[in-house]
Amino acid sequence: MARYAMVIDLHKCVGCGACDITCKNENNVDRGIFWAHHFTRTTGVFPNVKYEHVPTMCNHCNNAACVKACPTKAMYKDDKRLTLHDPKKCIGCKSCMQACPYDVISFNSKEPHGFWRDANSVIPDGTASGKETAEKLGQKIPYYNPERATTYAGIRPKGIVEKCTFCDHRLAKGEEPYCVFSCPAGARTAGDLDNPTGQVNLLLAKYGHKQLKPHVGTEPKVYYIRYY
Amino acid sequence: MEWHAPWDIRIAMDLFLGGLGVGVFLIAVLLNVYDKERNSKLSVMGSYLAPLLVGGGVLFLLSELGRPERFLSTLYNFNPQSVTSWGGLFQIGFMVIALIYAWQNFKGKTNGSTFRTLQGLGVLFAILVGVYHGLLLASLGRPLWAGGMIIALFLGSSLFGGMSLLVILRELGISIGVPAQVRSEAAAASSDKEFNFTMLFFTISAVELVLVLGWQFALYRSSADTLAAVNSMMESYGGLWIGIVIIAGLLIPLLGSLLTLVKDKSSEMSKGMALTLSALVLVGSFAFKHIVIMAGQGALPLIF
Amino acid sequence: MKMTRRGFLQATAATGLLVTVGTGVPALKALAEGENTAPIEGKWLSTTCQGCTSWCAARAYVVDGRVIKVSGNPNSKSNNGKVCPRSHIAIQQMYDPDRVKVPMKRTNPKKGRNEDPKFVPISWEEAIDTITDKMMELRNNHEPEKYVLMRGRYSYLRDIIYDATTKVFGSPNGISHSAICAEAEKFGPYFTEAFWDYRDYDLDKTRYALLWGADPIASNRQVPHAINIWGKVLDQATVVAIDPRLSATAAKANEWMPVIPGEDGALATAIAHVILTEGLWNKEFVGDFNDGINLFKEGETVSEESFTENYSYGVVKWWNLELKDRTPEWAAEKAGVPAEQIIRVARGFANAAPNAISWLSPGACMQVRGGYSAMAAHALNGLVGAADNVGGTLRGAKVPSGSIPSYDDYLDEIAKKGKKNKKIDQRGYKEFPALKEGKSGGGVVTNNLADAMLNKDPYEVKMAIAYWNNFAFSCSGTQRWEKALEELPFFVHITTNPAEMTQYADIVLPAAMHMFEKWAFVKSKANKVAYASIQQRMVEPLWDVRIDESEVPWLIAESLAKKGFPNLFNYFKTEFKDPETGKAPTNSMEFTIYSTKMMTQNMWDPSKEKKGDSLNGWQDFVDKGVWNSAEYPYRKKWEDFGTKTKKFEFYSETLKKALEGHAEKHNTDVNDIMQTTKYLARGEMAFIPHYEEPFRWGDSSEFPFVFFEHRSRLNREARSANTLWYQEFKDVDPGDEAWDDVAKINPADAGKIGIKSGDTIKITSPIGSITCTAKLWEGVRPGTVGKCFGQGHWAYGKIAALDYGKRTPRGGNNNEILPADYERLSGSTARHGGVTRVKIEKA
Ligand code: SF4
Ligand code: SF4
Ligand code: SF4
């Protein structure tokens, strides 16, 4: 079976955040929760200043700390070596969040998407409200993506954690993860590590790579190549 | 982005109450074994208290779960790699044993082999639960919690807390649910081979203080991640840590008990001192667990 | 991983079942939580994103009457099928909970920032009826010129409302927003190579990119193309970012030149100086000394006869008048950038020539004295032969779109007379030459409209309709706009959101959102290709909205006809026909669609000759979404740039003619015009690119910091601040923070005034104060403070404003501290170059 990995080319990445935004869009992710995110770093002193932007996401670690920590096997490795989460098994103990060295798992402490249940209008009868907008469309979020629900909870309910699934629902249809598809810089490449001639292995062979916190032993499968 | 700790105070409550519970259980058993006659009143009350405390802790834990109704699934979806899974098992196991044990105590059936077996099993599970607390944290790989010392620290703190709770009961002369025959036995006991609480008190506080300081010292000398974690802990909780955990919770009890022992090796602390120091220990133990749990959850810097 | 969709779903269903049984969760509960997992087929439909001035051909994924995703249009040859992060935010813009959903009227006659307008919903009939009553009143009083149409962002159906409606009604006053956008930028290429427009850039083949305040991977034009090709650009070219801020592009550039705001002209002239003294100019384009010996020596004049130029004009004059003294050492002092860096950049740029780009952006020229910086920066393209050349700056192919039919026959006497009045914005006044394409008063002076209205000069304005704009937020010196709108007797705002400007409206008309709810088209260019791109109504709007540029004028025309003035309606009904069926429109939507079809017919009609894609008719155009031109040919203009001398002018005879024309009109000389327009140049200096000391408001003892502002990579022209994604990811702008509005201060400066990151601070300029959060950041030059434009809304919605009801802004709007000043030769608002100094205090 496949062994999926992501290569992020920091030389091509312009730090635009399209991956962050479109991941939310694709996966119906609530405000305050981030499956795809980034960290930035400014170093040096004027005028010799360096700024870096590094996109982050679940590393789908080969040796996933979250999977080990989960007391109910809700967090698991699938046959493509993705780290996936079963919302029906999750008891919301947050052990996985503590265990993940990359802080990429989030907990739904509230009923999600309350923004779209807010009935307040800034001008009564003149402007809409979140609730009215969502209700008119018959959805919990106006731009709810039903395709997400084919392999995971379309919207993760209160009380459980959630995280990047490597867009397994898109992979299942032969499509790339949405952040890869949407990156305007072409900085992200998803593919199978077991395919020696695939793009992922070609890039890794050509440029070498870095991983986040390789020393913690999780064997992360998001590889960063070149420099921002 | 504002960062919220995934675990709030309820996890500290679980680990604190659970720790007190197993601490009380272990000390009560110790008393029972050491001098069945003289200490049976305390050991009986300890046997009641232990499951209550651990159960209370579990309630806090449950309320902290996003899906408490699925708690039992940790048993049938058991993940052998997960310390949390084992923890569920241990806590449930302990509760069952401790409740039966308490019932036996209540009925005064404290002599048979069933009692001894229960006692043995109880000790085993109490230790497992006590070890689990630290092991859980250690297993999660966060820098502040890493390493084996955290296990000893939590276990030590639990024993110390449990011990202090029993001292308080003793000093206040509380007697609830103690079978009548036990009460009279206790009254009749002579005073020459009395269990020395102060000595134990002193020993545990000394060991725990050494452990805590050693732990902190070790943290300061380890990798950048860990150093950052301990620095951020001291930044956010430095005052509480030194004031409550180290001074009030360990140093003062150590000195107080030492003072008593210096005067007379076999004497006990005065009532006032025993109550005060024990209360301090309880506060210190809670503060210790709370601070370590909260600070350990600090956001992790991402590095290549 | 090749699993059929069907097989996959079966597998999922099976696991789902096991899980349900396994966890012992009651089946009912599982059902309640379960969601519709049936595969839903969506459709990608073409549209155009107008989140910034890139105007990207895009697509949206429509499922079940809802837009759920956005992507680039793969048929576009300009953006490689990519869109930037802004585009996705358009979805939240359309589904903004604070959309105006019905027409409203004001019930509190008092106007002011702190007056609640007490808007109440009304019908479209009542709204239009009220508007046309006012319009008829003006006509009946023979003063139709007192009607003003204020245009903001637009599609190319704009001329229906902006031009035809206004003129047929009888007013000259279609006032566009162009001069708050970038007119000064066009000044540079126009007065060197007679091109009054934005340039295209041959990034694919460039070897050097010199960016004058430009931040192409974040803002400015052709952003997705720039993002997409930037890795390649960095591989093959040297990138230099000239910007007081470590911009997104500067962060990835080879060199950052953190220029002191407004001192761009010093750098540009010094770079030219180095290129000439070191003999690095492009001989093919500029020519050479007759004997091949370089006589350009620091401080020495050169005889004009000794040099023979090819495609350029006036290089020796430029040298003698200006460049001979513009040494890198001199510039280093002015601009705060080391001389070695200037020399290194000048050499690198010239050595890469002609595959080099000197990329001008508003930052380097929307300055009070920025016209000549614009010329100087653009002149570098001439010096190295990069103008219209491989890997250089390009013009752009033509998009053969049609224009609206002539309305001349529909102008009655009142209209003819009315429209002869001067335009209201004082363009062409002595102090506002606004020399668009060389014509005195040829361009708009948008921001001055507020003063003109307040001073009733040249006359009073009695009513205005504004659409797709928010001048009370987006124009510097907003206080004047608030005042002017307060005093305006009747104001109509066509808008998607209750914006700042809306608060002054008597009638509010809910507008269709451009990307998903409108029919229209736009034209733009990038990657050597010009294009026309469609916008279509792909989902039924949730609210009772109308299309601003076409439906609203139709409704107005219909109502005016009922009230005895049928000309406009007759014009619409007679001149606009469906080019496919010949049918006349019977309602506003047909009118909209027919107009779009008519104006794009040259592109989609296979029988029309054109250089570019061949499409198979209207539906094909709608489906593909974009028509691409053939690639722009290099060196197209070398033989005749269209300037007065036909050459690329370093000594601008074209500008000389324009300035003299303007002076003549006001019976004065060019020196007087220079003085009136705040320029220091006198004599011949007025006709060449040269250094001007920056003009700043405020005294340095009272206001120690130079303030500059910049753009956000998430700003949809200040219309996205009311969305979650904008706020959650605001930190993708280097130095900025999510959900906040920060002023970036160098830590060295902040230390001196005792300010820490996170402090709430008050920034005060000579015209006003705003409150925001301090952010200590090494990416800004000491002595300056930089802040992004876009936050600070006190209206617009419940996210943009911290408290809409109380008018509490989230952060502060830069335009409340930026004084209304101008680059007067172009009419452009001068918002950059450190136009004002400020002081900073803890709030
Ligand atoms: S979308 Fe691409 S370019 Fe933008 S931040 Fe993400 S990885 Fe970088
Ligand atoms: S990155 Fe974190 S969540 Fe993802 S597999 Fe690794 S440990 Fe698990
Ligand atoms: S792979 Fe999919 S789920 Fe993961 S970060 Fe990218 S878009 Fe989000």
* Atom number of ligand 1 nearest to Cα A53: 5
Domain regions of chain B by residue span: 9-296
Query: Encoding tokens for residue A69?
Result: 């920590």
Measure Cα distances from C716 to C218, C517, C547, C680, C790 in Å.
12, 17, 19, 37, 9
Residue C817: phi and psi, rounded to 5, are -115, -15
Question: What is the model's pTM?
Answer: 0.94
What per-residue confidence (pLDDT) applies to C28?
33
Quote the Cα angle for A169-A175-A180, to 5°. Answer: 100
- SS3 labels along C517-547: CCCEEEEEEECCEEEEEEECCCCCCCCCCEC
| CA A77 to ligand 1 centroid distance, Å | 26
Q: Distance from C27 to chain B by nearest Cα, in Å?
A: 14
Query: Encoding tokens for residue C327?
Result: 């040494």
Neighbouring-strand partners of residue C121: C104
* Count of structural domains within chain A: 1
Region C755-775: mean pLDDT is 98
Largest Cα–Cα distance in chain A?
61
Instruction: Please answer whether residues B68 and B88 qualify as being in contact, where contact means their C-beta atoms are separated by less than 8 angstroms.
Output: no
pLDDT reading at C33 higher than 50: no
Model pLDDT for residues C71-113, shown as the tens digit of each residue:
999 999 999 999 999 999 999 999 999 999 999 999 999 999 9
* Three-class secondary structure of residue A221 per DSSP: coil
Region B208-230: mean pLDDT is 91
The proportion of chain C whose per-residue pLDDT surpasses 70, expressed as a percent, equals: 95
Taken in order C644, C649, C655, C656, the sign of the CA dihedral is: negative
End-to-end CA distance of chain A: 33
Find chain C residues with C-beta within 8 A of A78's C-beta.
none
Res. C38 pLDDT band, cuts 50 70 90: low
DSSP code, position C511? B
Which residues between 269 and 328 in chain C have a beta carbon less than 8 angstroms from any beta carbon of chain A?
none
pLDDT reading at C145 higher than 60: yes
| CA A40 to ligand 1 centroid distance, Å | 13
What per-residue confidence (pLDDT) applies to C293?
96
pLDDT reading at C4 higher than 50: no
Model pLDDT for residues A164-173, shown as the tens digit of each residue:
999 999 999 9
What per-residue confidence (pLDDT) applies to A156?
97
Model pLDDT for residues B150-185, shown as the tens digit of each residue:
999 999 999 999 999 999 998 888 878 777 766 655
Q: Whose CA is nearest to atom 5 of ligand 1?
A: A15
Say which of C63, C85, C121 has its CB closest to residue A17: C85
> Residue C716 corresponds to which amino acid?
R
Region C525-531: mean pLDDT is 96
Closest CA to C832 of C709, C712, C689, C697: C709
Res. B43 pLDDT band, cuts 50 70 90: confident
CA C118 from chain centre, in angstroms, equals 33
Average pLDDT, chain B: 89
Q: Do C68 and A25 touch (CB under 8 A)?
A: yes
- For C39-43, C45-49, C135-139, which range has the lowest pLDDT when averaged over its residues? C39-43
Ligand 3 proximity of A5 Cβ (cutoff 6 Å): no
What per-residue confidence (pLDDT) applies to C35?
47
* Atom number of ligand 2 nearest to Cα A59: 1
Ligand 3 proximity of A95 Cβ (cutoff 6 Å): no
Instruction: Please answer whether residues C718 and C470 qualify as being in contact, where contact means their C-beta atoms are separated by less than 8 angstroms.
Output: yes
Catalogue the long-range contacts made by C635-644 (C-beta closer than 8 Å, 24 or more residues apart). C635/C388, C635/C389, C636/C388, C636/C395, C637/C193, C637/C195, C637/C387, C637/C388, C637/C395, C638/C285, C638/C311, C638/C388, C641/C193, C641/C194, C641/C195, C641/C311, C642/C193, C642/C194, C642/C195, C643/C192, C643/C193, C643/C194, C643/C313
Q: Distance from B21 to chain A by nearest Cα, in Å?
A: 22
Region C552-559: mean pLDDT is 98
Res. B4 pLDDT band, cuts 50 70 90: confident
Region C587-599: mean pLDDT is 98
Average pLDDT, chain C: 94
Domain B9-296 has CATH 1.10.260.40: no
Q: Whose CA is nearest to atom 6 of ligand 3?
A: A179
Region A174-183: mean pLDDT is 97
Model pLDDT for residues B271-297, shown as the tens digit of each residue:
999 999 999 999 999 999 999 999 999
Give residue A165's domain range.
4-225
The proportion of chain C whose per-residue pLDDT surpasses 90, expressed as a percent, equals: 94
Neighboring chains of B (3 or more beta-carbon pairs < 8 A):
A, C
Res. B1 pLDDT band, cuts 50 70 90: very low
pLDDT reading at C257 higher than 90: yes
C506 or B180: whose pLDDT is higher? C506
Region C296-300: mean pLDDT is 97
Strand extents, DSSP E, B43-166: none
pLDDT reading at B38 higher than 80: no
Model pLDDT for residues C646-666, shown as the tens digit of each residue:
999 999 999 999 999 999 999
CATH number for position A118: 3.30.70.20
Res. B3 pLDDT band, cuts 50 70 90: low
Region C753-761: mean pLDDT is 97
* Three-class secondary structure of residue A45 per DSSP: strand
Find chain A residues with C-beta within 8 A of B83's C-beta.
69
Say which of C23, C731, C738 has its CB closest to residue B73: C23
pLDDT reading at C8 higher than 50: no
Q: Do A172 and C5 touch (CB under 8 A)?
A: yes
Closest CA to C729 of C710, C711, C713: C713
- For C4-13, C66-75, C160-169, which range has the lowest pLDDT when averaged over its residues? C4-13
Q: What share of chain B is helix, strand, coil (3-state, %, to 5)?
A: 80, 0, 20
Sequence-distant (≥ 6) Cβ neighbours of residue C432 within 8 angstroms: C425, C426, C441, C445, C448, C822, C824, C827
What per-residue confidence (pLDDT) applies to C22?
32
Ligand 2 proximity of A83 Cβ (cutoff 6 Å): yes
Measure Cα distances from C747 to C706, C744, C777, C780 in Å.
15, 9, 6, 9
> Residue C645 corresponds to which amino acid?
T
Ligand 3 proximity of A177 Cβ (cutoff 6 Å): yes
Q: What share of chain C is helix, strand, coil (3-state, %, to 5)?
A: 35, 20, 45
Q: Do C781 and A132 touch (CB under 8 A)?
A: no
Neighboring chains of A (3 or more beta-carbon pairs < 8 A):
B, C
Q: Do B1 and C738 touch (CB under 8 A)?
A: yes
Ligand 2 proximity of A23 Cβ (cutoff 6 Å): no
Measure Cα distances from C330 to C346, C521, C685 in Å.
15, 49, 19
Q: Do C22 and B76 touch (CB under 8 A)?
A: yes
Residue C194: phi and psi, rounded to 5, are 55, 45
Instruction: Please answer whether residues C243 and C215 qualify as being in contact, where contact means their C-beta atoms are separated by less than 8 angstroms.
Output: yes
Closest residue in A to B67 (Cα–Cα): A91
Helix (H) or strand (E) holding B256: helix B252-263
Find chain B residues with C-beta within 8 A of C731's C-beta.
1
Q: Whose CA is nearest to atom 4 of ligand 2?
A: A58
User: What Rg do the C-alpha atoms of chain C give, in angstroms?
Assistant: 27
What per-residue confidence (pLDDT) applies to C31?
35
Find chain B residues with C-beta within 8 A of C23's C-beta.
70, 73, 77
Q: Do B70 and C25 touch (CB under 8 A)?
A: yes
What per-residue confidence (pLDDT) applies to C527?
96
End-to-end CA distance of chain C: 58
Query: Encoding tokens for residue C634?
Result: 């290099």
Ligand 3 proximity of A18 Cβ (cutoff 6 Å): no
Strands C768-776 and C808-809, how do they pair?
unpaired
Q: How many residues does chain A have?
A: 228
Ligand 2 proximity of A81 Cβ (cutoff 6 Å): no
Closest CA to C318 of C649, C650, C645: C650
Query: Encoding tokens for residue C100?
Result: 């105006």
Region B24-42: mean pLDDT is 84
Number of H helices, E strands in chain B: 11, 0
Quickly list H helices, B65-112.
73-76, 83-107
